[in-house]
Chains A and B, each alone.
Chain A
Amino acid sequence: MSALSFSRSKLVAVERISENILKAHGVLDDYIYGMEIDVEVNLSDFKIVAIGGKMNRVTTSECHRALTVLPNAIGMDITERDFPRTINRIIGRAGCLHLGNLLVECCDSILQAAIFSDLEKSGFKYMELNASQYAIARVATIPGLKNSCLAYSTDQ
């Protein structure tokens, strides 16, 4: 029998706060750290329009200062291929790696919510759909999706 030597959970909830704005609330809790992020993305251009955070459990007296770099993410396009790497640099290394990690999780969740927003709007009537056709339609409308994985590959 073995016990856990480390555990991290991340929970992200996305809501539509206006016709074009999706807001994600993300919570990260692990054996060391606890933090939260609220981020809003405008679906017309996929850019971050608002962001805030909270450090609930950290390891040093300096960690809270990481929240001051969060506004640097405003204006960033979450569909850019290098988005996670850029966030790791401007929020992670310049602030807190774990906060950067949570922000990437929140923005990826917003992107997933955007990809499936038509289904959500129609009351989750997904069983009647041809998934392959849906994927082709998404590739045409969501930037950065094309060839990002097998489901969105043009080889399909």
Chain B
Amino acid sequence: MLVYTRNKLTTIEDLKDGSLLVKVISNDTWFSLSLEMTIKVPDMEITDIKGEFNRSFYETCVETLPVLQEAVGIRIGPGLIKNINAFIGNRAGCRRMADMILDGCDQVINRFTFSIIRQMKPIKDEERPAAQREFLKMNPQLIGSCIAYAKDSPLVKVEE
């Protein structure tokens, strides 16, 4: 028998002006939260944010919503986690909302990675090492980011 469930969905929509609309919904046994934010591209800056508690065990949670505005102006890049946790995930704020902002920002990055992966899909096996080389050139931040792109990984050694 289950004692707790959580269902979290993050979606990204490309808007006409080139910015991205991020929606995060977290529905669990005790809380239901939703978050919407707009990301300006290519600045990768949070330009708009709003959140909602649809269901909350603690009435006080709704009082944290104004704190979300602290995220406006923060960019997806170095210092993001530290800033969001400092401004939103603090004793006057909401750690769950902070996690949802970070989840949304993660998926913005994955949205761009997905475009590149989709372009590489039709590439034939014999051409894959060269394509991999090009992929890592375009995304040098991936080197050292996980076991697949560790410096001793065969995928990275192709690059050397």
Binding site for B on A (CB under 8 A): 2-16, 22, 30-32, 59-63, 65-66, 69, 85, 92-97, 101, 105, 108-110, 112-113, 116-117, 120, 126, 131-132, 134-135, 147-151, 153, 155-156
Contact = CB atoms under 8 A, between A and B. Distances in A.
Contacts of B93: 149-150
B4 A60 contact: no
Interface stretch (B43-51, B52-60, B70-78): B52-60
A5 B13 CA distance: 5
Contacts, number: 163
Given A15-B2, A116-B30, A63 B12 contact: no
Interface string B2-41: 1111111111111110001100000011100000000000
A55 B20 CA distance: 29
B147 interface: yes
Closest 10 CB pairs of A and B: A113-B4, A6-B111, A62-B148, A14-B4, A6-B12, A151-B58, A147-B91, A2-B13, A60-B148, A12-B6
B110 to A, nearest CB: 6
A37 to B, nearest CB: 13
A120 B3 CA distance: 6
B6 A2 contact: no
A22 B3 contact: yes
22 contacts: A2-B13, A5-B114, A6-B108, A6-B110, A12-B6, A13-B2, A30-B110, A59-B148, A61-B155, A66-B148, A95-B146, A96-B146, A101-B103, A109-B6, A110-B4, A113-B3, A120-B3, A131-B59, A148-B95, A149-B95, A151-B61, A155-B91
Contacts of A110: 4
B86 interface: no
Interface residues of B, number: 55
Contact of B113 (A32, A60, A95, A132): A32
Q: Chain A interface secondary structure, helix, strand, loop or mixed?
A: mixed
Contacts of A85: 81
Contact of B148 (A3, A63, A150): A63
Contact of A62 (B6, B90, B154): B154
Contact of A150 (B6, B61, B81, B154): B61
Contacts of A134: 57
Interface string B90-123: 1111111001000100111011011001000000
A38 to B, nearest CB: 14
Nearest to B12: A6
A24 to B, nearest CB: 8
B147 A66 contact: yes
